Amino acid sequence: MKKILIIGSTGLLGKPVTKALIEANFDITLLVRDKTLAEKLFPKARIIKGDVQNRADIEAAMQGQEALFLSLSVKQTEKESDFHTEGEGIDLIIDVAKQLKIKRIAYLSSLVHLYQGMNGFDWWIFRIKQEAVRKIKESGIAYTIFYPSTFMESIFYQSKQGSMIALGGKSEYPLYYIASEDYARQVVNSFKILTHESRDYVVQGLEAFKQDEAAKIFIQFYKKEKLRTMTAPMFIMKLMGLFSQKFDYGYHIVEALNKYPEKFEAQKTWDELGKPSITLKEFAKKL
Ligand SMILES: NC(=O)c1ccc[n+]([C@@H]2O[C@H](COP(=O)([O-])OP(=O)(O)OC[C@H]3O[C@@H](n4cnc5c(N)ncnc54)[C@H](OP(=O)(O)O)[C@@H]3O)[C@@H](O)[C@H]2O)c1
């Protein structure tokens, strides 16, 4: 399968996958809202300006494609009543994909969203993510679903606030941090080897750390700036969440990451798509 439409290529995790698929000589088309940005990032790709809220834009981008790669998210500022690319957006994408006889849908999910329902945890964002997986699996189209652990990038691009790495509460289980470059290589390999079969791939890195341990390693080997950790108690995060959508998001994601009992489950992914090679220490040094 050579002709792939990517939706979400300008995002934090869409970028490395798009770059890797272009470098591996796939025939790539991007559906983007910001064409100028996409042209700057990916001068070699075919770029179509559009929005997932608009069926005509999805149809225009999907014409002549064989497969889709979806790297979508629910933004920290989105309200439950808003349009969600992983909610109504996925419905539209699947509908058009059936109409245009798309052969494969590859989708970036997450491992931690499986915390939904554990210890009574119920969050509307994880419900949307669970539903997205269910809808793709029931579409009748072959699928590849990636369930990554925490990305190393999230320490720098999401937890870093000024000169501090922000943590919350107590991290109970170690997480198998993965670098997006290793994940992107696995995505490329999945498009190379899969034909008609569907697959669920857990994406995990070489070493597992609790979040405070990971932050310490990152700080030790990141030399461009002196950083330190700051830990907020969960009750403060919960309280702040009552007044701000962004803090409510922060509270829920930290609660789930602290308590999801992550185990190593990526052996099948490593066997089929290759073993990751980047350690957290190397990642921090290279960033
Ligand atoms: N961070 C982690 O450690 C981690 C771990 C496991 C899984 N994940 C999963 O990774 C996923 C993606 O994360 P990310 O950080 O890459 O997200 P992101 O940076 O928010 O990227 C989302 C992408 O979707 C595009 N988009 C948004 N609304 C759109 C619309 N209406 N029409 C067309 N395109 C639209 C965005 O385009 P614009 O550039 O125009 O906004 C962007 O390219 C999340 O769902 C998360 O659950 C993350």
* Number of domains observed in the structure of the chain: 1
Strand partners, 47: 30
Q: Which CATH number belongs to the domain containing residue 123 in this structure?
A: 3.40.50.720
CA-75 nearest atom, ligand 1: 20
CA of 269 to the centre of ligand 1 (A): 22
**pLDDT in the model for residue 93:** 98
Q: Does the C-beta of 186 come closer than 6 Å to ligand 1?
A: no
- Structure tokens given for 270: 């490593």
> How far, CA to CA in Å, does 44 sit from each of 40, 47, 48, 250, 268?
10, 9, 13, 36, 33
Q: Does the C-beta of 51 come closer than 6 Å to ligand 1?
A: yes
Cα–Cα distance for residue pair 16/22, rounded to 1 Å:
10
The DSSP output letter for 195 is S
CB 109 within 8 A of CB 143: no
- Structure tokens given for 264: 């190593």
Cα–Cα distance for residue pair 39/232, rounded to 1 Å:
40
**pLDDT in the model for residue 240:** 93
Q: Does the C-beta of 34 come closer than 6 Å to ligand 1?
A: yes
CA of 75 to the centre of ligand 1 (A): 7
For 222, phi and psi rounded to 5 degrees? -90, 110
**pLDDT in the model for residue 44:** 87
Q: Does the C-beta of 12 come closer than 6 Å to ligand 1?
A: yes
pLDDT in tens, the chain (287 residues): 799 999 999 999 999 999 999 999 999 999 999 999 999 999 989 999 999 999 999 999 999 999 999 999 999 999 999 999 999 999 999 999 999 999 999 999 999 999 999 999 999 999 999 999 999 999 999 999 999 999 999 999 999 999 999 999 999 999 999 999 999 999 999 999 999 999 999 999 999 999 999 999 999 999 999 999 999 999 999 999 999 999 999 999 999 999 999 999 999 999 999 999 999 999 999 99
CA of 14 to the centre of ligand 1 (A): 7
Q: What residues make up the domain containing 266?
A: 3-286
Q: Tokens 């992550």, residue?
A: 262
Does the predicted model carry a pTM greater than 0.95? yes
